[in-house]
Amino acid sequence: DGGITQSPKYLFRKEGQNVTLSCEQNLNHDAMYWYRQDPGQGLRLIYYSQIVNDFQKGDIAEGYSVSREKKESFPLTVTSAQKNPTAFYLCASSALGGNRGEKLFFGSGTQLSVL
């Protein structure tokens, strides 16, 4: 089945530690995104990538880093510089084309908490 796989489902971070969230898709989508969701809040864009080896900052990129070495993979690293990392992290992908916003498909999410 085609889809987006995020792992792990739950992740705990210690003070000063970097952690990496995995996102893999087999939908052959060009674009991938990372969103952060806090309780009672909408989704906020962290980073996005439209092609391999290229990515752009979203609205809240500080304290995060990404890479896009393969079309299928878009891992997110939460660095120690991110002082409030506790949130639900969602990876998404979309096909690109046409002149309208394309539909986003989401992975199952990773809940990150601070120990």
Partner 1 sequence: QKEVEQNSGPLSVPEGAIASLNCTYSDRGSQSFFWYRQYSGKSPELIMFIYSNGDKEDGRFTAQLNKASQYVSLLIRDSQPSDSATYLCAVNNRGSTLGRLYFGRGTQLTVWP
Count residues contacting partner 1 (CB under 8 A)? 28
Q: Which residues inside 20-79 make contact with partner 1, applying CB under 8 A?
A: 31, 33, 35, 40-45, 48, 50, 56
Question: 14 or 103, CB closer to partner 1?
Answer: 103
Question: 80 or 104, CB closer to partner 1?
Answer: 104
Strands (DSSP E) along the chain, which ranges?
4-7, 10-13, 19-25, 31-37, 43-51, 54-57, 64-66, 76-78, 87-94, 105-106, 110-114
Q: Does 16 help bind partner 1 (rule: CB under 8 A)?
A: no
CB 68 within 8 A of CB 52: yes
Question: 60 or 80, CB closer to partner 1?
Answer: 60
